[in-house]
Amino acid sequence: MRIHHIAIWTADLERLKNFYLTYLPARAGDKYENPAKGYVSYFLYFDDGASIEIMQKSGIPPSPVDSPAQVCGYAHLSIAVGAEEEVNRLAETLVSDGYPLVDGPRRTGDGYYEAVILDPDGNRLELNAAA
């Protein structure tokens, strides 16, 4: 058993797709439109078989980018990016491109090396050096 994908709602499908394709080693599938349920989506595929589905539908409230709330439910998406140097490099790139650094880079109490960035919708993206 394994996790197949995580899905994220967004108010701007193309913006979020371009963010993840720019900074992560993913490739996008074709745009999917479901007129019966009123949404559109893309799957973003990684070489290890995991994927992210980004979805847009009218009526889904956006996350406040300037004040990411601590609420029940989805906490963050964690991506293993390689060595600690890659965590540092990618975090520096994202910050210099204007994305907020929430935490790190640092070693956590449970031994991970990570940095947490907010994506364009305010979702927490954890970059880690986990093998």
pLDDT in tens, the chain (131 residues): 678 899 998 889 999 999 999 999 999 999 999 999 999 999 999 998 899 999 998 887 666 555 555 555 678 899 999 999 999 999 999 999 999 999 999 999 888 999 999 999 889 999 999 76
Q: How many CB atoms lie within 10 A of CB 95?
A: 13
Tokens of 26: 């993913």
Phi, psi of 67 (to 5 degrees): -145, 75
For the entire predicted model, the pTM comes to 0.84
Q: What share of the chain is helix, strand, coil (3-state, %, to 5)?
A: 20, 35, 45
What domains are defined for the chain? 1-59 (3.10.180.10), 75-131 (3.10.180.10)
Three-state DSSP state, 22: helix
